[in-house]
Amino acid sequence: MVVVGHTLYAGGRFTRIGGVEAANIAKWDGTNWIPLGLGVDGGVGGIGAAGNDLFVAGGFNHDGGISANNIAKWDGTNWSALGTGLDGYAYALAVAGNKVFAGGIFTSAGGVAATNIAMWDGSSWTNLGDGVNGVVISLAADGTNLFASGEFSRAGSVAANYVAKWDGNEWSAMGVNAWTTNGGIAFLPPAAIRLKGSEVFLLTDEAHGPWNPAAILRWEGTNWNYVARLVPDFSSQTYTDYPRDMLLVGDDFYICGTFGCFASNSPSADVAKWDGTYWACLGSGMDVKFLHNYQAIGLASTGSELFMSGVFESVGSGIPSSNISLWHIPHALSASRSENLLTLSWPATGTNFILESSQSLGQADWAAVLQTPLVNGNKLSVTNEVLSSQKFYRLRRR
């Protein structure tokens, strides 16, 4: 899944979504599911966006009736191929400017020899040196560097266990073969690699005795350090975690997969949040717990809404939700006064909220505060003059 503005794009393997016929990919506009033309004729493994263009990769041969091998572009109206595409399955996409990076398990891109990873520049394919010697699971890119993770031990001519960086000219390892020896604990291939500014984060699990705690790690320039560990619940049917995806929303980390989250008095399954200090359950998560044929696979967010997709039948306390669901992220409104000025602020991820005011809590109609919120670090804020009459303020989700 990927969010563009407030539109959610979801891909996978399906023929209907929300009662609407759609071939493996569709978009949610906040009210309805809408197919993207005729869709694609096979599974979608990765989605990336640049401006008005949506790039889709996976295992298919046609998009919208047009021949396209395993990767294609949707411009909002029509499908088009990216040259002759890829000769194998693509699991991951990353977009940086006009560059589209595809990773998976393939040997050529656009007829050019490319081992499991390649780049499309808008008109042609190029390889990234000698590529990597195993399947690529996740990609992240900024304006300068590409970060790849997966089940590989070499990138180009460099020994690189599970994760490596491409700087536009050559590969480098993220650590000197130290990935599996951090603190004497072995780590399994990472499920997701994500960026926040210049920081690089990984979601993985530890090969630690009979149980595998999910772990979030941060690259410190020479080695990986823990951000947080989610230790499994030992009363469950299994001690093994299978993390599948990670998302950063503001300062919070959201992870999903197959695991029990007993971070509070309300246990949940398969989705949890780390706020920098504590783990928190998202309600009761998925209703079917500790069964590996049910799992959360992907996350996406508008900043105020969190979308979770996977293989499940219901969420929360028996809410029917076939394979995709929505969690409203709470956003607190804060107020501070300095002399005759009142500043109201809330997390900057809450762009989908409207600040409203009223002179009475019992008033039916609240008026929108007309000032444009200012961005101050990780906060949005509005400053008003304090008047003699009382006034109440609230955030309303659009």
> In Å, how far are 12, 43, 116, 138, 322 from 58, measured between CA atoms?
9, 6, 13, 13, 22
The 3-state DSSP composition of the chain as helix, strand, coil percent (nearest 5) reads: 0, 55, 45
Are residue 349 and residue 228 in the same domain, yes or no? no
Nearest one of 227, 231, 230 to 196, comparing CA atoms: 227
pLDDT in tens, 56-73: 999 999 988 889 999 999
Is there a single domain that holds both residue 120 and residue 42? yes
> Domain end: 269, 295, 328, which one?
328
The CA-based angle 308-309-313, given to 5 degrees, is 105
Q: Do residues 372 and 308 both lie within one domain?
A: no
> Is the same domain home to 214 and 352?
no
**Total structural domains in the chain?**
2
- Following CA atoms 131, 58, 62, 23 in sequence, which dihedral angle do they give, to the nearest 10 degrees? -170
What's the pLDDT at 317? 75
> What gap in Å lies between CA 262 and CA 281, rounded to an integer?
7
368 with 309, same domain: the answer is: no
Same domain? For 324 and 338 the reply is no
| Residues 117, 16 share a domain | yes
Instruction: Specify whether 314 is located in the same domain as 353.
Output: no
pTM (two decimals): 0.88
Q: Does 185 lie in the same domain as 221?
A: yes
Same domain, 241 and 374: no
- Integer Cα distance of 179 and 281 in angstroms: 29
Domain end marker among 328, 352, 384 = 328
What was the pLDDT predicted at 173?
A: 92
- State how beta strands 62-63 and 66-67 pair: antiparallel
- Write out the residue range of the structural domain in which residue 122 sits: 2-328
Per-residue model confidence (pLDDT) at position 232:
57
For 329-373, what is each residue's pLDDT tens digit? Answer: 989 999 999 999 999 999 998 888 999 999 888 888 899 999 999
Q: Are residues 386 and 367 in the same domain?
A: yes
In whole angstroms, give the CA distance from residue 374 to residue 12.
Answer: 38
372 shares a domain with 299: no
In this structure, are residues 211 and 230 in contact, taking their beta carbons and an 8 Å threshold? no
Query: Phi/psi zone of residue 283: left (φ > 0), alpha (ψ -120 to 50 degrees), beta?
Result: left
SS3 240: strand
CATH of residue 49: 2.120.10.30
Q: What is the pLDDT along the chain (398 residues), one digit of tens a residue?
A: 999 988 999 999 999 999 999 999 999 998 999 999 999 999 999 999 998 899 999 999 998 888 999 999 999 999 999 999 999 999 999 999 899 999 999 999 999 999 999 999 999 999 999 999 999 999 999 988 999 999 999 999 999 989 999 999 999 999 644 455 455 567 788 899 999 999 999 998 877 655 677 889 999 888 888 898 886 555 444 445 678 999 999 999 999 987 766 554 444 568 889 999 988 878 777 655 445 567 789 999 999 999 999 988 888 878 888 899 999 998 999 999 999 999 999 999 888 899 999 988 888 889 999 999 999 888 999 998 887 778 899 999 88
